[in-house]
A and B are shown apart, each in its own frame.
Chain A
Amino acid sequence: MTTSTRGAHRTPAVLVLEDGRTFRGRAYGAVGATFGEAVFSTGMTGYQETLTDPSYHRQVVVMTAPHVGNTGINDEDMESKKIWVSGYVVRDPARVPSNWRSTRSLDEELAAQGVVGISGIDTRALTRHLRERGAMRVGIFSGNALPDEGTMLAEVRQAPEMSGADLSAEVATTEAYVVPAIGEKKFTVAAVDLGIKGMTPHRMAERGIEVHVLPATAGVEDVYAVNPDGVFFSNGPGDPATADHPVALMRAVLERGTPLFGICFGNQILGRALGFGTFKLKYGHRGINQPVQDRTTGKVEVTAHNHGFAVDAPLDRVSDTPFGRAEVSHVCLNDNVVEGLQLLDRPAFSVQYHPEAAAGPHDAAYLFDRFVNLMEGQRA
């Protein structure tokens, strides 16, 4: 056991928001400059999963939990091959990781992957600011020779915005691969990778599903080439309004009546495929404590969220869509945001949140069983 000495990490760092608010702290992770959309995440556990979730691509994540890095980094809790956040904001980073599975410190990992971060700032003040003003562009600048504030602000304002960003292709796999079923294989699923997390195919594999993960650019023929019992559309970064290709692909799947399940970005794509609009939330839902009601059972589940956009569908009635009747199946009780859609005449449903739950509670794991049931029903 070693204790890092004080004095390290005294390199100054500045966080500059596009509206000009500035926070001064210390460098964390890599030293340099980075830009992205500032969002806050309220989970108290699971930073490793958050950092490696491709949906955070091009986002600077502010952790509301003050202590981050306490359990280090291990080789088992990665949700993808790398850290995707474009910047990381924490208040009190751990100096010493402590966990029997830890192999290295978070600080080292961030630096090794070139992720620029900042520590020691009033993350609550920043969170309140984002809550009141909405998610916005941000830059983190660290090092001993920092540009003046005007220059930094100008650079932040030149960074691209999240609205209108088409990012799936940047994070998705380029080659198809297979996640084998655990135990007896019962089904085959084609999973369209728009930024998929590792836990999602794992949750399916646990249920006897062989998962063929396909690139975001996959076409109908690629999907049906694997002879799927069901098709899955994953989570992923960016503005769903730009996702024309996945929307077209999903429509083709819906037409064929193949059982379909979507998560997060996948939910927004289903929304669009059904003809609903999507919109950007003021500051999004990012955390692992969100109450969602399953409107079919009335039960409340505590769920993991990571979404800045949402589907605009009526809560109070069944809608007619080109694919038959559709209804909002799940809703967030905090703000009545649409959290799930289901078709009543075809075997398709999706949720806006993360039943694979890495990080987060396992309350919504039943949705994978629902998917299995749909596939079983289709066979019968």
Chain B
Amino acid sequence: MPKRTDIQSVLVIGSGPIVIGQAAEFDYSGTQACRVLKAEGLSVVLVNSNPATIMTDPEIADATYVEPITPEFVEKIIAKERPDALLPTLGGQTALNTAISLHGNGVLEKYGVELIGANVEAINKGEDRDLFKEVVEEVRKKTGHGESARSYICHSMDDVMKGVEELGGYPVVVRPSFTMGGAGSGFAHDEEELRRIAGQGLTLSPTTEVLLEESILGWKEYELELMRDKNDNVVVVCSIENFDPMGVHTGDSITVAPAMTLTDREYQVLRDVGIAIIREVGVDTGGCNIQFAVNPEDGRVIVIEMNPRVSRSSALASKATGFPIAKIAAKLAVGYTLDEIPNDITQETPASFEPTLDYVVVKAPRFAFEKFPSADSTLTTTMKSVGEAMAIGRNFTEAFQKALRSLERKGSQFTFVGEPGDKDALLREAVRPTDGRINAVMQAIRAGATPQEVFDATKIDPWFVDQLFLIKEIADEIAGARELTSDLLTEAKRHGFSDQQIAEISGLGEDVVRQVRHALGVRPVYKTVDTCAAEFAARTPYFYSSYDEENEVAPREKPAVIILGSGPNRIGQGIEFDYSCVHASFALSDAGYETVMVNCNPETVSTDYDTSDRLYFEPLTLEDVLEIVHAEQQAGPVAGVVVQLGGQTPLGLSQALKDNGVPIVGTSPEAIHAAEDRGAFGRVLAEAGLPAPKHGTATTFGEAKAIADEIGYPVLVRPSYVLGGRGMEIVYDETRLEAYIAESTEISPSRPVLVDRFLDDAIEIDVDALYDGEELYLGGVMEHIEEAGIHSGDSACALPPITLGGFDIKRLRTSTEGIAKGVGVRGLINIQFALAGDILYVLEANPRASRTVPFTSKATAVPLAKAAARISLGATIAELRAEGLLPANGDGGTLPLDAPISVKEAVMPWSRFRDIHGRGVDTVLGPEMRSTGEVMGIDSVFGTAYAKSQAGAYGPLPTKGRAFISVANRDKRSMIFPARELVAHGFELLATSGTAEVLKRNGINATVVRKQSEGTGPNGEKTIVQLIHDGEVDLIVNTPYGTGGRLDGYDIRTAAVARSVPCLTTVQALAAAVQGIDALTHGDVGVRSLQEHAEFLTAARD
């Protein structure tokens, strides 16, 4: 039976900002789903507050709302658009929870909106621990297999203590209900840990519920991805086995597809149980993911959990198998059955089958602990990784080593030189799961550990352990070889060794190894991901490399453009860059090129086989890219390689690619160097007559001190060539400068430390612009809310700028043009300026697509990345204006006065991290970027747009209640007016004595509250931290006290995170928030789609 005819319009809810546990995979899923629904002739209404997504591109849906994903705002959208149905299963936990709220508060019923894809009962059965346990028991009765870990449900700390006794003592697992990415869960080994973890879990759970569970640490862990249609046909799309045994969140584990260590009987038990669960839970149509633990001693199967929606794992499974789960889920939701949907890849067989793989897929997580030095790096059942890389090979070792080098981190590849260290110490280290445990394991093997010892320390399955030994034995063979023979190289390559690893082991240069290898004709072939292990012919060129015999890359006629993606998401290089790469692919395909995407990030739209004409799922290293270029040059003409859209990863390869004869299009490697190298860039600025803050470069403390003495403290110090402000710090005095230099281990003459004058109280401005060699197109000017010194990625900003006048814009335009011309940009450039006093300083320039490109594009309704890609291949801005890709007149610097205001706000991952004592990490913003994602608020005035951005990022701003204010001395003056405004809006002010005094003298009454350091008062007066914990504070303003006195603030800020109370850490944010509160209290805040905004803007431009 085909599509339902009673649904004409569907509301799709996205997942909002990128946070740990909910990332780009939902853009991939949501984009697929929206496209499918649109292609089916349905009208698609979309809400997602995240501008850096492809799904929020205006052409993906019919009405795109970049509005906060809260029940209040979604209700406004429903009231306005009146969709027939709501599809809640594609936007992660956020969408599911929002849909449940809208069901619970009667909105869906009121407006006659049908929930499709999953019903409320099924969602509850899948998500509620108690109900799910009943499901598992039912399933056990039917299949004879599967059980729940013995557990105890708790709603209070008393329950928790009772529960431990019931379960027979420690260790126990704590799992809060209804949180995403396993937030708040963990292992408790004693009462202290239990009280802490369970206490936080009770708070985090929207239903104040945690589950205590027997420990199944060290068991084998598996996942199945299933799909079911309305005729009750069920297929298992993929099985995934975790390399890291139970105890590490699956998002933080190295995972392998398909399962490697199950016999058919055991696999079929999991399959039977999985199918019985999806039926019992009642997922009518769509996908779900089920996790299992298997006891390696006897095969006892425990069902851990299920997600009745698409997930990170389903995105991985889609990329791993070529079976697009979200796309199929959307089709099932509108009435198709699996047998009615063709398999995209074969085109001739139906989707009602189970993919079979003739390759191995390995996913490895990427962490960002270096950004949170105080955080405990032990991996637990709370997900902490910020991204992942996937690799495909014809065997495990090949895929595994490719995945490790795809992580693109120093030390992520195995190293086989140098002293491994002490075996016993290494084995002890390997007991604790961490980022990089795998390296400790390999070093332990090198130090002589036996397979049994490795297993005992890690519980990694013996088959995987043997694969590690196999890798090590090959490294030994290379080390022992007198020369690199064809046989030896082939063997090493078949097990995933990179040229760089071979070079390191054999003491040769990487380029020498490559030359030898090429001379011997040892090169990879490219195989197709085809869902069916070659049983049927594949129509989709989705490739991976392998050192095997037969190449499957077909010849082509059209010139190809190879676009290098951005690799695994990390803080500072996320989905924004994928957005630009995808846009380039679309634009260049439209312009008649054959587009070839290279990337290794399974979460993204760029690695959807539908996005580009050809997809290479490969690591983004020089070696891997050179081989792809070679393969494509064999297949047909290659117009060039695009490196400026995927962030620092491809940019870093550009010079080496060029040196190897690869044509780089757009901004040349030399121009990139001119912007990145301090000296060269200084000359560009001097020539254009532009000032930069005083600065110098140093390789020793003495040099740094001399520079600082000359330019004056505070100074901004940072290593050269970094992204995301890694290691950047504002230093207020000599003592700290000395400590900074001492702590910076990577300083060398080729990698000096940059010392800049820090511009206190400056306004920071970001500019995105296009330059074609003749003409400048100012894409957008963003004014930061926070002062200079807070990383631009972590700062909120407004576009158009809210306090800059025409004269400032003119200066920015002139400066931008001067730099773009001086550097030699052909495409996008992003420049950061600081306006201090009346001087416009240039802070830095990046001749590439920036993090803000999607935001700027959406705020101004102009596809900047598409234009950049076209300019790279020779189009001029004038041509693009004529074509209609760029506006006929004006640009982002000449927006009409009544243009909508867009506010970008960063989203921080504080709640994910704990120090080794289990305390939260500090939330103060600084020059090092730590946000994982962003939201956009758009409205006609700044206040409302800001309020929306806050609602989207952290939850709505309070409009009444108690506000606590405690600010550093330097902020006291600027605090007075906003504080008065808060009182005017009916807030009761709380303040510490010093701040209260200042307020009082200015005629503002504030209740004095006790500092944490003062302790509880004689009459039981609570400290501010206690008040926050008790939920008695609705808004917190706390700016850090320079270098000293941070500790009290630390407790306040971490309490705010724990209780999810809005916490503003700059006075600028306070001022903006007051405007937002003002907007919220004055009349109804409306919603408007991007299409409506664009129509308005276009009309105003003409």
Contact = CB atoms under 8 A, between A and B. Distances in A.
Nearest to A24: B549
Contacts of A20: none
A71 B262 contact: yes
Interface in A337-373: 357-362
B473 A302 contact: no
Contact of B533 (A64, A299, A333): A64
B264 A45 contact: yes
Given A124-B394, A333-B352, A48 B263 contact: yes
Given A100-B299, A300-B352, A128 B258 contact: no
Interface stretch (B11-19, B462-470, B768-776): B462-470
Contacts of A6: 470, 473-474, 477
Q: Majority SS of interface residues in chain B? A: loop
B271 A70 contact: no
A103 to B, nearest CB: 12
A127 B356 CA distance: 13
Contact of A334 (B232, B349, B396): B349
Contacts of A23: 549
Interface in B364-402: 394-396
B535 A287 contact: yes
A43 interface: yes
For B337, B463, B548, the residue with the greatest tally of chain A CB atoms inside 10 Å of its CB is B463
A77 interface: yes
A291 B258 contact: no
B395 A91 contact: yes
A123 interface: yes
Contact of B261 (A48, A74, A99): A99
Interface in A80-118: 91-92, 94-101
A232 B265 CA distance: 25
Contact of A43 (B272, B338, B356): B356
A377 to B, nearest CB: 25
A298 interface: yes
B463 A97 contact: yes
Kindly state the interface size class of chain B when it binds its partner.
Answer: 35 or more
Given A66-B394, A67-B395, A98 B261 contact: yes
Given A128-B534, A131-B534, A100 B550 contact: no
B350 A333 contact: yes
Nearest to A101: B263
Interface string B533-548: 1111100000000001
B461 A98 contact: yes
Given A122-B550, A333-B350, A334-B536, A45 B357 contact: no
Contact of A359 (B236, B264, B352, B533): B264
Contacts of A95: 466, 470
B336 to A, nearest CB: 13
A42 interface: yes
Contacts of B357: 44, 65
A125 B356 contact: no
Contacts of A43: 264, 356
Contacts, number: 184
B263 A91 contact: no
Nearest to A48: B263
Contacts of B267: 45
Nearest to A286: B535
Contact of B268 (A40, A70, A76, A362): A362
Nearest to A76: B265
Interface in B243-272: 258-268, 271-272
B918 interface: no
B353 A64 contact: no
Contacts of B536: 131, 334
B534 A66 contact: no
A98 B462 contact: yes
Contact of A291 (B236, B297, B353, B548): B353
Nearest to B258: A44
B263 A1 contact: no
Contacts of B298: 100
Contacts of B463: 70, 94, 96-98
Contacts of B356: 42-44, 64-65, 287-289
A298 B231 CA distance: 8
B611 interface: no
B261 A71 contact: yes
A71 B474 CA distance: 23
B395 A92 contact: yes
Contacts of B233: 299-300
Interface string B395-418: 110000000000000000000000
A66 B258 CA distance: 11
Contacts of A188: none
Contacts of B358: 42, 64-66, 123-124, 127
A65 B462 CA distance: 20
Q: Which of A3, A91, A358, A362 has the most B CB atoms < 10 Å from its CB?
A: A3
Interface string A47-80: 0110000000000000011110011001011000
B840 interface: no
B310 interface: no
Contact of B360 (A67, A96, A125): A67
A127 B549 CA distance: 13
Interface string B318-355: 00000000000000000001110000000011101111
Contacts of A1: 450-452, 455, 462, 465
A288 B271 CA distance: 13
Contacts of A302: 235-236, 352-354
Nearest to A129: B550
Contact of A360 (B258, B268, B461): B268
Contacts of B339: 291, 293, 300, 333
A353 B1099 CA distance: 64
B532 interface: yes
B1011 interface: no
A334 B351 CA distance: 10
Given A6-B470, A122-B548, A125-B548, A289 B261 contact: no
B959 to A, nearest CB: 54
A95 B259 CA distance: 17
B535 A131 contact: yes
B296 interface: yes
A70 B550 contact: no
A291 B549 contact: no
Nearest to A130: B534
A269 to B, nearest CB: 26
B527 interface: yes
A70 B241 CA distance: 13
Given A125-B549, A289-B354, A300-B339, A67 B534 contact: no
A131 to B, nearest CB: 6
A40 B265 CA distance: 21
A100 B294 CA distance: 11
Contact of B550 (A48, A92, A128, A300): A128
Interface in A31-50: 40, 42-46, 48-49
B359 interface: yes
B469 A91 contact: no
A283 to B, nearest CB: 8
A45 B452 contact: no
Top 4 A-B pairs ranked by shortest CB distance? A46-B264, A125-B550, A122-B549, A359-B264
20 contacts: A6-B470, A6-B477, A42-B356, A44-B259, A45-B264, A64-B533, A65-B356, A67-B260, A70-B260, A99-B262, A121-B549, A128-B534, A287-B356, A289-B355, A299-B231, A302-B352, A333-B349, A334-B349, A335-B349, A358-B265
Given A43-B356, A124-B550, 14 more contacts: A2-B451, A44-B356, A45-B259, A45-B267, A64-B535, A65-B258, A96-B466, A288-B264, A299-B232, A302-B236, A334-B353, A334-B536, A361-B271, A361-B354
Interface of B: 231-233, 235-236, 258-268, 271-272, 296-299, 337-339, 348-350, 352-360, 394-396, 450-452, 455, 461-463, 465-466, 469-470, 473-474, 477, 527, 532-537, 548-550
